[in-house]
């Protein structure tokens, strides 16, 4: 049986200045995306959506990848704090994954003429997001903390397989979606747009770290409340 | 007179409404999620 090892919340909330910094970056980054960035060559004004769509894609995939790592770490160490971290990464990833799909639909309508297409990239993104929704649902129905932690770690690892599939889907199959713009071979984005994209990505990153830390605290508090009370000592 | 849809420029024209919708959605998601975190942390105390 797994022994619950719970750490109390950190007295100093280090993530709050990071979140505030991310908020400021997001305000400036969105202003740059809306008013300073040039129109995209083919998509015109609609191309401005990429400054929120692409960071949402990158950060949701980052959260799911991190959840995968936390799940593996939990299975190797059985420390409950990794289970809490995995829960946080799954939930924040699902939130950003849902945002990604919504932004993708808003992007698709004026550029492709339809809100949704069963395209490999879109479909794999939806499957990826829904598989992590499944992990959260599983956590919601299993009452025993040890079973919940182990089962959801396994489910997270299985769901995590979707991350590289989603990333590579535009290369492996014929897709309406464009290929990766940023690769190890270089970038296909003009420098006048690229720095604004990265500015917004850092805003998303800082906010994501804030969300992850705050959500991890919630999970830790729940784990703490689940620790059974010690049995009263028997007096002869 | 050439109808609007037939004026082939190679670029998507207009669409600023979609752009604003995307940015509003981003703020709604982040703001909404931050509120849920705050509410849940209050409930835990």
Average pLDDT over residues A60-75: 97
Confidence of residue A210 (pLDDT cuts 50, 70, 90): very high
Best mean pLDDT range from A195-204, A223-232, B4-13: A195-204
Predicted local distance difference test score (pLDDT) of residue B15: 82
Radius of gyration of chain B from its Cα atoms, rounded to whole angstroms? 21
Task: Give CA–CA dist A22/A62, Å, rounded.
Answer: 17
Tell me which of A126-140, A175-189, A197-211 is least confident: A175-189
Task: Give CA–CA dist A67/A140, Å, rounded.
Answer: 17
Predicted local distance difference test score (pLDDT) of residue A122: 93
Confidence of residue A10 (pLDDT cuts 50, 70, 90): very low
DSSP for residue A232: P
Subunit contact B15:A217, Cβ cutoff 8 A: no
Predicted local distance difference test score (pLDDT) of residue A3: 53
Plot region of A102 (φ>0 → left; ψ -120 to 50 → alpha; else → beta): alpha
Q: What is the pLDDT of residues A16-48, one digit of tens each?
A: 889 999 999 999 999 999 999 888 777 888 889
Predicted local distance difference test score (pLDDT) of residue A136: 97
The answer to whether B18 faces chain A, any CB pair under 8 Å, is: yes
Q: What is the pLDDT of residues A120-149, one digit of tens each?
A: 999 999 999 999 999 999 999 998 999 999
Q: Is the pLDDT of residue A219 over 60?
A: yes
- Chain A residues bordering chain B (beta-carbon distance below 8 Å): 26, 30, 33-34, 39, 41-46, 48-49, 52-53, 56, 92, 95-96, 98-99, 102-103, 106-107, 109-111, 207, 211, 214-215, 217-218, 221-222
Whole-number mean pLDDT of chain A?
89
Predicted local distance difference test score (pLDDT) of residue A38: 84
Question: Are the C-beta atoms of A135 and A156 separated by less than 8 Å?
Answer: yes
Subunit contact B25:A33, Cβ cutoff 8 A: no
Task: Give CA–CA dist A25/B28, Å, rounded.
Answer: 17
pTM over 0.90: no
CB contacts of A221 in chain B (<8 Å) are: 41, 44
Q: What is the pLDDT of residues B1-45, one digit of tens each?
A: 555 554 667 777 778 899 999 999 999 999 999 999 999 988 877
**Dihedral of the CA atoms A152, A206, B41, A95 (nearest 10)?**
-50
Nearest to A74 by CA among A163, A159, A164, A156: A156
């Amino acid at each position: 049986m797994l022994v619950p090892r719970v750490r109390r919340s950190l007295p100093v909330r280090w993530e709050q200045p990071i979140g505030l910094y991310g908020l400021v970056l997001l305000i400036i980054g969105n202003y740059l995306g809306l008013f300073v960035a040039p129109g995209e060559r083919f998509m015109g004004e609609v191309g401005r959506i990429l400054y929120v769509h692409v960071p949402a894609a990158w950060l949701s995939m980052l959260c799911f990848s991190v959840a995968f790592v936390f799940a593996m770490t939990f299975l190797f160490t059985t420390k409950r704090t990794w289970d809490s971290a995995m829960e946080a990464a799954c939930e924040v990833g699902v939130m950003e994954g849902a945002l990604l799909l919504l932004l993708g639909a808003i992007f698709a309508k004026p550029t492709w003429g339809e809100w949704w297409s069963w395209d490999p990239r879109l479909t794999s993104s939806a499957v990826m997001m829904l598989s992590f929704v499944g992990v959260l649902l599983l956590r919601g129905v299993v009452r025993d903390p040890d079973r919940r932690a182990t089962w959801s770690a396994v489910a997270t690892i299985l769901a995590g397989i979707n991350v590289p599939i989603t990333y590579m889907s535009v290369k492996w199959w014929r897709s309406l979606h464009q290929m990766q713009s940023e690769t190890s071979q270089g970038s296909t984005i003009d420098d006048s747009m690229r720095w604004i994209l990265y500015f917004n990505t850092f805003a998303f990153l800082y906010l994501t770290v804030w969300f992850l830390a705050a959500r991890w605290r919630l999970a830790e508090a729940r784990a703490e409340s689940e620790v059974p009370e010690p049995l009263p000592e028997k007096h002869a | 007179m050439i109808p609007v849809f037939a004026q082939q420029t190679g670029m998507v024209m207009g669409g600023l409404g979609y752009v604003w919708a995307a940015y509003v959605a981003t703020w709604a998601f982040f703001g909404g999620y931050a509120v849920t975190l705050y509410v849940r942390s209050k409930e835990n105390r």
